[in-house]
Structure 1
Amino acid sequence: MTSSNLLLEAHFLHIPKQASLSNGFRLVNWKKETVSRCGSSLCVDHVADLSERTSSLHNNNKAKPPRMVVFSSDGPITENKQDANNNILHSLCSYGKLTDACKLVEVMARHNQLPHFPSCTNLVRGLARIDQTDKAMCILKIMVMSGGVPDTITYNMVIGNLCKKGDLRSALSLLEDMSLSGTSPDVITYNTLIRFMCDNGNAEDAVEFWKNQLRSGCPPYMITFTVLVELVCRYCGSGRAIKVVEDMAVEGCYPDIVTYNSLVNFNCRRGTLEDVALVIKHILSHGVELNTVTYNTLLHSLCSHGYWDEVDEILSIMYETSCTPTVITYNILINGLCKAGMLSRAIDFFYQMLEQGCSPDIVTYNTVLGAMSKEGMVNEAMVLLALLRKTRCCSPGLITYNSVIDGLARKGMMEKALALYNQMVEDGVCPDDITRRSLIYGFCRANLVEEASQVLKETSNRGNGIRGSTYRLVVQGLCKKGEMEMAVQVVEIMLTSGCKPDERIYTAIVKGVEEMGMGSEAGELRKKLRQWKLLREV
């Protein structure tokens, strides 16, 4: 039996008792059929054993039925009744024998047997998942010709595969077959085809395709329309996209604010503010009201480009309309101002936010606290942090504490930084490497190297990673203070944690030994380090 033969294994089919043998399959002349069909694509296996078992079934009702029969597409399987073959088909699909299942469906079709439609659906989906598109389409065709109606998901999987292969003609043909079979295409079907056309330089074809679908009675899916308009804007420009919007209105497909927002968002991200103005003008001329999403998108783009006068104008419009600023609006403004170095104005917006009854979220607090800490406004940051701790809507997290601790450490206020660190732990917020690194750097700047070394040891004992630059800073600080024993301990911690000391660390240790008046010991240490190739020859 060749490798191309279809093997229907033991657990796929159990031979029934004698009565069902005569009804389910024909087991006569097995040897004859095997010899005559040994060159076919499918063969009968274990024939002698099966004959003996069949004889045993006739002579002794207590004999156990065999557990394995192997059939062929041109052999005894053709003698099976439809139900028996469908049982086999179901088992093949269940065990992932997709190639064998395909052959069985083809055999059943040649002998006018109706395949089990749910099994065919699973088979088509399985073939689509492994990119066997041609086989999937073949089974799909057999299923439809047999009276089956594949569902929309199955068609979408095959159409998606055809688009991936670049076979648009077959995908469109399958779309037509889909409608004729009684299955309605959905948003995913149309989106897949339209995206493929536009991404392959056929945006105009996509527009005509959607027009034709609307004329054929397709529902004016707003999601598909929005996708089409945004893709036309991307590949053909805003002017053409607006023209498409107007043309589609004639076909009964009217844009909503979501469609317009996609155009505004796309042009804002691209930085083409002239096109943004064109879209906004078109929106207003058609009596469509802008919503908060539109305003927030505009504000984000204007803040990114530093157009603060225009930002004030947009805010004035928002206050006059029903679209009052939300927490997202304020977060956009505060973040943009902080990035532009306009912290005082960002703080004004924060307190204006509170006056308007809009509760800041943790993003708002973290943005302001981070900017305050970088600007050295640590006292104001501590006041704001205390305000945050009193609120019910949110509580300080890791980023919050890290920002303020880093600001205090930069200012050398290590007593407050350490107190905030302890408060952080009490609140159940677990410090990370950034927290400890800020403390270590702060202690080193304040010439409190012993405290930095202690934090380093605690970090190492907890299994947290520390950068090599942090170790180097501590070692160099200890060496300058003459704490050579502690410096060596830090190097040992560094080696234990798997971090390799660099040449600057060894140089600092040698220099520290020299400054302690132990010149000969420093020279011997330098010599050994060079022998070990840890120091270069000068």
Structure 2
Amino acid sequence: MGYCISQQNHMVVFSSLHGLNGCSKPEGYHSGTCHCVIIKLPGLRLNCISKCDLQTQSCLHWRGGHGAQRNVHFSQCRGLQRSFCIERDNEIDQDEWSSEDYRMIVDRNFRQHINSKKPSSSSLYLDGPFVENNEETNNGILQNFCSQGRLLDASRLIDIMARRNQIPHFPSCTNLIRGLIRMDRIDKAAKVLQVMVMSGGVPDIITYNMMVGGLCKRGLLRSAIDFLDEMSLSGCPPDVITYNTIIRSMCDKGNFDEAVGFWKDQLRKGCPPYLITYTVLIELVCKHCGTLRAIEVLEDIAIEGCYPDIITYNSLVNFTCKQGLYEDAALVVHNLLSHGMEPNAITYNTLLHSLCNRGCWDEVDEIVMIMRETSHTPTVVTYNILINGLCKVGLVDRAINFYNDMVFRNCSPDIVTYNTLLGALCKEGMVDEALRVLHVLRGTNCYPCLITYNTVIDGLAKKGMMEKAMGLYGQMIENGIIPDAITHRCLVWGFSRADLIEKAVDILKDMGKRDHNAGNKAYRFVIQGLCKNKKVDLAIQVLELMISSRCRPDVAIYSMIIKGVAAAGMTKEANKLHRKLIEWNVLKEGTTLD
């Protein structure tokens, strides 16, 4: 009599030649030593050790290793039907297989050898209470497990249902698969997905793409590629996201040639020539292997029936321009023209944006001339790029020339055009010109927005033209535009610089009503001005406004107020206030007011 334990497809099979006895002895023996065997599994060593009284029972003990400490006891008792139980002591399970998995597998194989029609209570223990449930009951439990986040319990239940030929609830399977992938339990997710598919379910493309992403994240690219065939067979073919995920994963590992070969293979298998996937591949090759290699790939993949279009070329132009590789950009445009295509407005705008940022104004003028000679004349976006680039470097006169040119060519400026010009004019101190542009803006189909008014008000305030700034402030309110914290801060700073501190205080009070925050610097500037003018009462009011607006006064502000009180001839009050602030831990002991 002997025992054989083997592992087949993750199933542990126990077999016995004579009634599943754990130890053997000739009949009539009352005591002795059992036969002991050493059982080996991959990564697991089971030592069979037994010392027992053979008068009462046959027994088999083993101790398991590999990341877990398990003491397992199989016993066969006289006077009872043949049954087996597992006792676990001090179990610390660090392996993927839990004790429930062992119980399910042992029970399944033992039941094939047990002759009784009705399973005993011990054998039912191996699968828990779920083994006697019908399909509907188990599906109800499965849904509860998923809703409670007990994903590992749910995956074990699905395994039990599969062995009992029960069809699991497909929506729960989908949620379970996604949850397991998020837990980085891709192996268990794959098992649940297999059960779902074999039961007639069809996972959606999101679930499949999460599986592919999980495999790629683990570096299992070959498994991810093999998974594509399974997707097609299940009735949910891969989509553009599936292919993009695999290609990006290959390129992240530096396998660019493999990525190109993979895409060519998919095209030969009848995959739709997804433009996005094609463009992603070309971009990655261009980024890591250079423009020449990217153009070679363009030509190579075109043989497979996947042809580049203007979007692909624009992507390459954009990348090369961002890198400042204008010779490569010219090479891309030349290849574009050689295929019978011509650049569109996006191509030209991309080139102009990059050239403006680098101050290549001669090249800018040349491209603008080319655009005027083609069917793709400069658009409002083109002019905005030019005006913005010129204003950034202070070339406001040239920017105004382009503005006049676009009006002459019946290209209507938009609010971006006007705001860009107004910002540049105010920055250069040309506020009168800014007011004239604002007047022109009111006569167009564009309407001044909050940014427009804030830009001009800030310019006027910096020049000390507070009367005009307040006139514009009232005008924006009349037009239904509500001032924000930026508007009020500009006015506060303007009045403070113009030494109109009381006006600044009025604006601060208005800000408090609107729950606007002026900022510590603005409050400090106003308090300082009030203290210099010996208006301590008003300074204290501003301090209260500051605290109510959730701004925390610092030592400098308190020192200003104390000095202001002292300067007003109230030295005793200043000293008393100083001591109080120290008691309240606002000022540190020994703080001087020099």
**Residue type at the aligned position of 2:280:** V
SS at 2:270's partner residue?
A: coil
Deviations 1:444-478 (A, max 9, x none): 11121111111112212332112111011111212
2:244 maps to 1:183: no
Q: CA deviation at 1:88?
A: 6.3
In the alignment, what sits opposite 1:102? 155
CA 1:335/1:103 → structure 2, altered by over 3 Å: closer, same or farther?
same
Q: CA deviation at 1:209?
A: 0.8
In the alignment, what sits opposite 1:533? 587
2:515 maps to 1:460: no
In the alignment, what sits opposite 1:242? 295
In the alignment, what sits opposite 1:295? 348
**Residue type at the aligned position of 2:240:** V
SS at 2:126's partner residue?
A: coil
Return the match for 1:322 from 375, 382, 389. Answer: 375
In the alignment, what sits opposite 2:425? 372
**Residue type at the aligned position of 1:446:** A
Deviations 1:68-108 (A, max 9, x none): xxxx23xx23xx3x677667656766776644443343234
Structure that is richer in helix per residue: 1
User: Does 146-155 or 483-492 show the bigger shift?
Assistant: 146-155
Q: Distance in 2 between matches of 1:215 and 1:261?
A: 26
Return the match for 2:127 from 41, 50, 53. Answer: 41
Q: Distance in 1 between matches of 2:364 and 2:126?
A: 78
Q: CA deviation at 1:313?
A: 0.7
CA 1:459/1:183 → structure 2, altered by over 3 Å: closer, same or farther?
closer
Q: CA deviation at 1:341?
A: 0.7
Q: CA deviation at 1:195?
A: 0.9
Deviations 1:241-261 (A, max 9, x none): 111111111222111010011
**Residue type at the aligned position of 2:499:** N
Q: Distance in 1 between matches of 2:462 and 2:174?
A: 65
**Residue type at the aligned position of 2:310:** I
In the alignment, what sits opposite 2:333? 280
Q: Distance in 2 between matches of 1:244 and 1:94?
A: 48
Q: Distance in 2 between matches of 1:180 and 1:498?
A: 63
- Counterparts of 1:380-395 in structure 2, within 5 Å, are 380-392=433-445, 394-395=446-447
User: Does 135-144 or 97-106 show the bigger shift?
Assistant: 97-106
Q: CA deviation at 1:407?
A: 0.5
CA 1:432/1:36 → structure 2, altered by over 3 Å: closer, same or farther?
same
- Counterparts of 1:30-179 in structure 2, within 5 Å, are 35-43=121-129, 72-73=130-131, 76-77=132-133, 80=134, 98-115=151-168, 120-179=173-232
User: Does 115-124 or 217-226 show the bigger shift?
Assistant: 115-124
In the alignment, what sits opposite 2:305? 252
Q: Distance in 2 between matches of 1:87 and 1:496?
A: 56
CA 1:527/1:127 → structure 2, altered by over 3 Å: closer, same or farther?
closer
**Are the equivalent residues in 1 in contact too, given 2:555–2:587 (CA < 8 A)?**
no
**Are the equivalent residues in 2 in contact too, given 1:98–1:123 (CA < 8 A)?**
yes
CA 1:33/1:508 → structure 2, altered by over 3 Å: closer, same or farther?
same
CA 1:106/1:519 → structure 2, altered by over 3 Å: closer, same or farther?
closer
In the alignment, what sits opposite 1:505? 557
Q: What RMSD, in angstroms, separates the aligned Cα atoms of the two structures?
A: 2.9
Return the match for 1:212 from 247, 261, 265. Answer: 265
Q: Distance in 1 between matches of 2:312 and 2:356?
A: 23
Deviations 1:376-396 (A, max 9, x none): 11111112212222322x321
With structure 1 as the length reference, what TM-score do the two structures score? 0.81
Q: CA deviation at 1:511?
A: 4.3
CA 1:108/1:516 → structure 2, altered by over 3 Å: closer, same or farther?
closer
CA 1:39/1:488 → structure 2, altered by over 3 Å: closer, same or farther?
same
SS at 1:37's partner residue?
A: helix
Q: CA deviation at 1:482?
A: 2.7
CA 1:493/1:85 → structure 2, altered by over 3 Å: closer, same or farther?
closer
In the alignment, what sits opposite 1:58? none
Deviations 1:493-514 (A, max 9, x none): 2233332333333443344455
Larger Rg: 2
**Are the equivalent residues in 2 in contact too, given 1:268–1:298 (CA < 8 A)?**
yes
Q: Distance in 2 between matches of 1:319 and 1:508?
A: 63
In the alignment, what sits opposite 1:410? 462
**Are the equivalent residues in 1 in contact too, given 2:228–2:237 (CA < 8 A)?**
no
Q: Distance in 1 between matches of 2:441 and 2:435?
A: 10
Q: Distance in 1 between matches of 2:142 and 2:222?
A: 31
User: Does 310-319 or 372-381 show the bigger shift?
Assistant: 372-381
Q: Distance in 2 between matches of 1:247 and 1:386?
A: 58
In the alignment, what sits opposite 2:522? 470
Return the match for 1:483 from 510, 523, 535. Answer: 535
Give aligned pairs, total: 479
In the alignment, what sits opposite 2:358? 305
Structure that is richer in strand per residue: 2
Q: Distance in 2 between matches of 1:182 and 1:497?
A: 61
**Residue type at the aligned position of 1:533:** L
**Are the equivalent residues in 1 in contact too, given 2:493–2:504 (CA < 8 A)?**
yes
**Are the equivalent residues in 2 in contact too, given 1:4–1:41 (CA < 8 A)?**
no
SS at 1:476's partner residue?
A: helix
2:485 maps to 1:433: yes
In the alignment, what sits opposite 1:57? none
Q: Distance in 2 between matches of 1:458 and 1:120?
A: 59
Q: Distance in 2 between matches of 1:299 and 1:278?
A: 16
Deviations 1:12-34 (A, max 9, x none): xxxxxxxxxxxxxxxxxxxx857
**Are the equivalent residues in 1 in contact too, given 2:495–2:504 (CA < 8 A)?**
yes
Q: Distance in 1 between matches of 2:576 and 2:165?
A: 95
**Residue type at the aligned position of 1:485:** D
Return the match for 2:276 from 218, 223, 240. Answer: 223
**Residue type at the aligned position of 1:39:** Y
SS at 2:306's partner residue?
A: coil
Q: Distance in 1 between matches of 2:449 and 2:387?
A: 19
In the alignment, what sits opposite 1:52? none
Q: Distance in 2 between matches of 1:359 and 1:277?
A: 31
Return the match for 1:494 from 541, 546, 550. Answer: 546
Q: Distance in 1 between matches of 2:227 and 2:340?
A: 40
Q: Distance in 1 between matches of 2:475 and 2:546?
A: 28
CA 1:454/1:152 → structure 2, altered by over 3 Å: closer, same or farther?
closer
Q: Distance in 2 between matches of 1:252 and 1:278?
A: 23
CA 1:470/1:151 → structure 2, altered by over 3 Å: closer, same or farther?
closer
**Are the equivalent residues in 1 in contact too, given 2:197–2:203 (CA < 8 A)?**
yes
With structure 2 as the length reference, what TM-score do the two structures score? 0.74
CA 1:148/1:489 → structure 2, altered by over 3 Å: closer, same or farther?
closer
Q: CA deviation at 1:129?
A: 4.7
2:530 maps to 1:444: no
SS at 1:39's partner residue?
A: helix
Q: Distance in 1 between matches of 2:289 and 2:331?
A: 15
Deviations 1:275-299 (A, max 9, x none): 2222222222222210111111101
User: Does 378-387 or 141-150 show the bigger shift?
Assistant: 141-150
Q: Distance in 1 between matches of 2:545 and 2:138?
A: 71
Q: Greater relative contact order (Cα 8 A, min sep 6): structure 1 or 2?
A: 1
SS at 1:282's partner residue?
A: helix
2:448 maps to 1:396: yes
CA 1:154/1:524 → structure 2, altered by over 3 Å: closer, same or farther?
closer
CA 1:499/1:112 → structure 2, altered by over 3 Å: closer, same or farther?
closer
CA 1:42/1:4 → structure 2, altered by over 3 Å: closer, same or farther?
farther
Q: CA deviation at 1:515?
A: 4.9
Deviations 1:281-336 (A, max 9, x none): 22222222101111111010000000011011111111111111111111111111
Q: Distance in 2 between matches of 1:251 and 1:143?
A: 36
In the alignment, what sits opposite 1:421? 473
**Are the equivalent residues in 1 in contact too, given 2:461–2:490 (CA < 8 A)?**
yes
- In structure 2, stretches of 5+ residues that fail to align are 1-86, 89-97, 102-117
